[in-house]
Chain A
């Protein structure tokens, strides 16, 4: 179980999950809202990053607009004993942005998933073949995405859900 966050940390999450302004001192508004100095805010950010609560601080891009227009999900159905080795192998490819083991369903029996981003569909198809070869399982399914219907960053600690208390 993760450790509970302090009220100050939750407030910091609320203030840093949006977009910091394009001004000389972008952390100043956050510091002022929390009654801290900018140095103290930066110290909190570094600590949360060291703890792994902040995975990354920086820019989130729209990859389609940046020219990386093709995106696909590659899925495999692997014997349980081979999942870890294969997942760790797939994770080493820079074009693989997400790699998960997921529960199998009768109507969807796949258990290993890699999301890949490339400049073209052809590049994605070639990459999928390379990924499959690297784990020694060529029975993959390549599912291209055709449209992005929503992409937003989660807003944490905004609504208290009574179901979860």
Chain B
């Protein structure tokens, strides 16, 4: 990644141009040809740095609901339990963390009953309890990263 890549990444996280030819527009902003913008983005995608380019929705505004779940999974069962949990399409994030509660995942679904059904199913299939920690207020959701040199 060079400094142009970093500027490009910062630009497309928040200021992606909503125009008919957005890559040409990004090129104008950066002083690059459209072709070079497309080549750089293709490389960043190939390297796995860009996961996707598209719309990020407010799940609640779409009528969906979500929650956070934590489990205490014995070390030897991590792969097996992760496979059970990750198989549900509503599980969008799953992290191992350094705590007795070592598996933390978010669950999204079209209604509360759906979430309960998924959690009950995970408990039934793994024999392990799921600790649910639903949000009561949200103060921030902003998954942008400043990639310019010297940023935190």
Contacts and interface: CB of A to CB of B under 8 A. Distances in A.
B139 A151 contact: no
Question: Which of A58, A63, A144 gathers the greatest number of chain B CB atoms within 10 Å?
Answer: A58
A79 to B, nearest CB: 14
Interface string B125-149: 0000001011111111111111100
A154 B111 CA distance: 14
Contact of B131 (A38, A51, A59, A107): A107
A152 interface: yes
A61 B49 contact: yes
Contacts of B135: 100-102
A105 B138 CA distance: 18
Contacts of B57: 13, 17, 53-55, 154, 156
A43 to B, nearest CB: 9
A150 to B, nearest CB: 4
Q: Is the interface of A mostly helix, strand, loop or mixed?
A: mixed
Given A24-B24, A91-B140, A62 B49 contact: yes
Q: Is the interface of B mostly helix, strand, loop or mixed?
A: mixed
Contacts of A150: 82, 85-86, 91-94, 105
Interface string B8-52: 010011111011111110000000001000100110010111111
Interface of A: 2, 4-5, 13, 16-20, 22-28, 38-39, 42, 45-46, 48, 51-63, 65-68, 71, 73, 83-84, 87-88, 90-91, 94-103, 105, 107-108, 111, 113, 117-119, 123, 127, 143-159, 161, 163-164
Given A151-B92, A156-B59, 10 more contacts: A26-B23, A51-B61, A94-B152, A95-B152, A97-B141, A150-B85, A151-B94, A153-B56, A158-B89, A159-B89
Interface of B: 1, 9, 12-16, 18-24, 34, 38, 41-42, 45, 47-64, 68, 70, 82, 85-86, 89-99, 101, 103-105, 108-111, 113-114, 117, 131, 133-147, 152
